[in-house]
Amino acid sequence: MRINYGRYRSNAIYGKIVFMEKPRFCSGRSFFQFILYAFIGLGLSLASTGCKEKVKPPTRDIVKKKEAWEERTAKNLRQYLEYAMENNGKLNDSMSVRHIRLLNNFYRDNQFNLVWSMRGNSKYIGSKLLEFVKGSRRYGLFPEDYGLARLERIQQMVQVDTNAKNDAALWVRNDLFLTDAFIMLSKDLKQGRLAFDSVTLRKDTVLSDSLYLGLLHDVIARNEVQQPLQSLEPKYAAYDSIKTYLSAFLDSANFINYTFLAYPYADSVRFFKQLQRRLYEDSLMPLLYNKIDTSLLSKAVRKYQARKGWKITGKVNEALVKSLNNNDAQKFKRIAINLDRYKLLPDTFPITYVWVNLPSYNLKVWDSGGIAFESKVIVGASKTRTPLLNSEITNFITYPQWTVPFSIMIKEMLPAIKKDSNYLAKQNLMVVDDNDSIIDPKTINWQRLSKKYFPYQIKQRQGDDNSLGVIKFNFRNKYSVYLHDTNARWLFGKAQRALSHGCVRVQEWQKMADFLIRNNQEKFPADSIKAWLGRQEKHVVSGFPRIPIYIRYFTIEGVNGKLKFFEDIYGEDQLLTEKYFSNKIL
């Protein structure tokens, strides 16, 4: 038997079935009609519910009576916030804000009053915030990140158009854009734009809403924009010096958007097309859209080399690419990256610490706010980089042995030993087994050894010809790197000192050792280190207060009234530029 539910109708408005009569037995066809109508009714109901959308705020609202201004702007502001809250920050089809939740909370707390303007005129703080955005390059920022173009368009409109000046909706959008810009400025000045990494020492990885809201309320209360924003910046002399000399750089900078060349390249066709465009931008060859003309390209490279006074070869190399990329736009992006690197550091450092900056080949020992001493250093080559790290110097060893890292044994020493059986003796090296017993190298079949099978260690005997020199400074790290002297001290005279396998060679190792034990004269009398070295004695020295060491990568310093750019030895600036700033407008 089947049930007949009688006559029925679907009510799409309420999404339910209305029965006209009691059900009765009937054929299966009526039953399936009932089910069909039920689903149609439910679908129409859901569709009608889904189509209910907040009405878009008015794009214009001309206020003729000034006494109605606050009421109308508050109404518009509520409408914009409600709409944007439900549409991921969109104010309309073409405009949006990035921090809608914060904006909503702020304006609700502020009774939906405008902050940056009053009755069709910018307030002092509104003008000052726009001025800050315009001048944000002086902080290593990009003005267009904060909506400069649309803010300037609004100001132009209200200056020439009476209706625009009296448009409550326009001034509401202006207020929202300025508050959104202020929040973004706060974030970028405090945290920067670089992602936090394993050596970042900051704890505040996420800035709280209370910080932003507190800053905004502070601006309103003090009627001051610049100081609250500047208070967010790092408090380092090196950061301040870059900013100070950045102003002079900007005054003479020519921000032409030249084509950036990534080198070394993975896609040769793409690279040479970009190179042709870059040379065209210097008026060295005609613009070729889809083809590569090797003859024209070689001629253009020759012209560029002649212009620079270089040897004329017509060949493309790393030096050529670096020179072509070395324009003011790229320099500014490097400045921005370096300023942001300071924002990854803590607000304060310990009283005493060691600071190694790889691109400048320099080590500084800081003590009580001043530099105790500094030293030239030799750092890892590009293929064997010195890692960035945080640690503490725990001890040092005079006349140390060098245990050769596995990678060096396999990649460098094993091929040399296979070619010359006397290699080990010439380099003052010895072979030991797992029990640290010395093995006669002549008893080993070196041809059988490989990366997969190498059951020995190679060590270098202590002495003046040891690769570690006469002293080694240890600190815990997962990379097995350390500070040490060297048996090739003449290399400190070279300008380019990215030469090691990853460890840091220190020219002023004697000063470092004396500094570490400076407060323990009872245990280590004056000249004790010199005496040990004179007798070529091995000593493990510990018991002094551990000193933090930070190895970092900064390629710009403010020195003698100008910005000094160091070579990007590991290509980190290039990598970060491509990742964060490649499409930035200057």
Per-residue model confidence as pLDDT tens digits over 70-100:
999 999 999 999 999 999 999 998 999 999 9
Distance, in Å, from the CA atom of 363 to the CA atom of 552, rounded to the nearest integer, reads 10
Amino acid 29: pLDDT: 54
DSSP string, 400-416: --EE--HHHIIIIIHHH
Angle of helix 294-308 relative to helix 268-281, nearest 10 degrees?
50
In a domain, 376, yes or no: yes
Please give the distance of CA 90 from its chain centroid, rounded to a whole number: 28
Instruction: Tell me the two tokens of residue 400.
Output: 């140390």
* 160 and 15 in a common domain: no
Distance, in Å, from the CA atom of 69 to the CA atom of 166, rounded to the nearest integer, reads 9
pLDDT-above-70 percentage for the chain? 91
Domain count, the chain: 3
pLDDT digits (tens, 9 = 90+) for 421-452: 789 988 889 999 888 888 999 899 999 999 99
In a domain, 340, yes or no: no
In a domain, 246, yes or no: no
Distance, in Å, from the CA atom of 255 to the CA atom of 246, rounded to the nearest integer, reads 14
Residue 500 has pLDDT above 80, yes or no: yes
Amino acid 30: pLDDT: 55
In a domain, 285, yes or no: no
Over its C-alpha atoms, the chain yields an Rg (Å, rounded) of: 35
pLDDT digits (tens, 9 = 90+) for 349-361: 999 999 999 999 9
Distance, in Å, from the CA atom of 290 to the CA atom of 273, rounded to the nearest integer, reads 8
Residue 365, beta-bridge partner list: 354, 373
In a domain, 525, yes or no: yes
pLDDT band at 289 (very low <50, low <70, confident <90, very high): confident
* 195 and 46 in a common domain: no
Note whether 9 and 20 are within 8 A (CB).
yes
Residue 16 has pLDDT above 50, yes or no: no
* 117 and 31 in a common domain: no
In a domain, 239, yes or no: no
pTM here is 0.84
> Residue 21 class from Cβ within 10 Å (0-12 exposed, 13-18 middle, 19+ buried)?
exposed
* 140 and 228 in a common domain: yes
Distance, in Å, from the CA atom of 356 to the CA atom of 360, rounded to the nearest integer, reads 9
Amino acid 8: pLDDT: 42
* 70 and 43 in a common domain: no
pLDDT band at 523 (very low <50, low <70, confident <90, very high): confident
* 79 and 46 in a common domain: no
Higher pLDDT, residue 76 or 9: 76
Distance, in Å, from the CA atom of 54 to the CA atom of 79, rounded to the nearest integer, reads 9
* 144 and 35 in a common domain: no
If you average pLDDT over residues 263-269, what whole number do you get? 90
How many other CB atoms are there within 10 angstroms of residue 529's CB atom? 22
Residue found by looking up tokens 């700033």 in the block: 581
Amino acid 75: pLDDT: 96
Q: Is the dihedral of CA 415, 416, 421, 425 positive or negative?
A: negative
Amino acid 54: pLDDT: 66
In a domain, 521, yes or no: yes
Residue 363 has pLDDT above 90, yes or no: yes
At residue 365, the 3 state secondary structure works out as strand
* Mean model confidence pLDDT for the chain: 89
Residue 313 has pLDDT above 80, yes or no: yes
Residue found by looking up tokens 């296979």 in the block: 418
If you average pLDDT over residues 511-528, what whole number do you get? 89
pLDDT digits (tens, 9 = 90+) for 29-52: 555 554 555 555 555 444 444 444
Residue 9, beta-bridge partner list: 18
If you average pLDDT over residues 234-256, what whole number do you get? 94
In a domain, 578, yes or no: no
* 95 and 43 in a common domain: no
Instruction: Give which of 521, 528, 516, 413 is closest to 472, Cα–Cα.
Output: 516
Residue 433's alpha-carbon distances to 41, 70, 263, 457, 504, in angstroms, are: 83, 86, 44, 6, 28
* 151 and 10 in a common domain: no
Q: Where are the beta strands (DSSP E) in 97-155?
A: 117-118, 121-122
* 393 and 355 in a common domain: yes
Amino acid 233: pLDDT: 97
* 165 and 117 in a common domain: yes
Tallying the residues shown for the chain, one arrives at 586
If you average pLDDT over residues 262-280, what whole number do you get? 92
Higher pLDDT, residue 204 or 284: 284
Q: Is the dihedral of CA 552, 554, 555, 561 positive or negative?
A: negative
Residue 170 has pLDDT above 60, yes or no: yes
Q: Is the dihedral of CA 432, 438, 441, 445 positive or negative?
A: negative
pLDDT digits (tens, 9 = 90+) for 540-585: 999 999 999 999 999 999 998 899 999 999 999 999 999 999 888 8
Please give the distance of CA 494 from its chain centroid, rounded to a whole number: 30
Distance, in Å, from the CA atom of 579 to the CA atom of 586, rounded to the nearest integer, reads 17
Q: Which domain range does residue 35 map to?
A: 3-50
* 491 and 396 in a common domain: yes
Amino acid 37: pLDDT: 53
Instruction: Give which of 336, 330, 331 is closest to 136, Cα–Cα.
Output: 336
Distance, in Å, from the CA atom of 450 to the CA atom of 447, rounded to the nearest integer, reads 8
Amino acid 45: pLDDT: 47
Q: In this structure, what CATH number is given to the domain that contains residue 550?
A: 2.40.440.10
Residue 526 has pLDDT above 70, yes or no: yes
Amino acid 33: pLDDT: 57
Residue 385 has pLDDT above 50, yes or no: yes
User: Of 136-140, 358-362, 378-382, 419-423, which gets the smallest average pLDDT?
Assistant: 419-423
pLDDT band at 210 (very low <50, low <70, confident <90, very high): very high
